[in-house]
Amino acid sequence: MDIRVAVLIDGSFFIRRVQFFYRKYFSHCQRLTAEQTVDVLQRLVTSHLTVDNNGYQHLYRIFFYDALPLDIKVHLPIKINNETNHRVIDFAKTDENLYRKSIIQQLKKQRKVALRMGIVKHSKEWKLNTQTLKRLLKGDIEFSELTNDDFIYDIRQKGVDIKLGVDIATLAFKKQVDKIVLIAGDSDFVPVVNILMVWCLLIWLPFYKQYYRVSLIHNLSGGMIVAVGWGEE
């Protein structure tokens, strides 16, 4: 029996995990390119298409969920060296945003890849990063010692999670696939996963369980297989 497999990937989560492992094991190497990142994605997908006694698993489609990076110019929060005006950062030209844009362009060239794009919204505010805030509260540093590197611009993706949830539900209810590989770590997906458990669709989380939120792991039986086959209608 042929087993149809859909792979659903939360782009931000996937890229963070790839970068984490790359820094951990290949810190001496140059920065990952967009082409290499997409190659990692394709290899990960291929590793979940197997042939066993239950039949041949073939790829139905890869669904990749992300949003185009912010492309505005904003003033940095702290003046440098007593300058009269705050310096300006152009997010459209930062290495990280160029890298993310290149990944999206590379994915457009791949077979059986469906891009599900959300939008990026910002609060027009700079916030202290977590580590700096902890050090500041402990008294390890003074406010006067802060630099622009201690701040992050408040950016959030919108519309990505709901698109992923709708696609999971659609694939399940229409019985378009027999197996879903879910690469995401947000507990917002728990309700739709609970529905799939009722419908008895096979779910698989390929990353180790410590990289997922506790509530998502709990609902997915430790990040492994939930159920196999379809339930009775």
Q: Write the DSSP assignment of 186-210 as a string of letters.
A: -GGGHHHHHHHHHHT-EEE--S-GG
Q: Which CATH class is domain 3-68+99-119+157-219?
A: alpha beta
* Tokens coding 95: 């290495």
What does pLDDT average to over the chain? 79
Contact 178, 55 (CB under 8 A): no
For residue 51, what pLDDT band results from cuts at 50, 70 and 90? low
Reported as type and span, the H/E element at residue 52 is strand 51-52
Least confident of 22-36, 96-110, 133-147: 22-36
Contact 60, 177 (CB under 8 A): yes
**Domain-wise residue ranges, the chain:** 3-68+99-119+157-219
Share above pLDDT 70 across residues of the chain, in percent, rounded to a whole number: 77
Least confident of 162-166, 167-171, 224-228: 224-228
**Cα–Cα dist 38/18, whole Å:** 10
For residue 65, what pLDDT band results from cuts at 50, 70 and 90? very high
HSE, side-chain direction, 13 A CA sphere, residue 180: 30
What's the pTM? Answer: 0.80
* Tokens coding 223: 């990040």
**Cα–Cα dist 29/43, whole Å:** 20
Tens digits of per-residue pLDDT, 9-40?
A: 989 888 988 888 888 777 777 788 899 999 98
Q: What is the predicted pLDDT for the residue at 196?
A: 65
Tens digits of per-residue pLDDT, 191-228?
A: 766 666 665 455 555 554 444 444 444 444 433 333 32
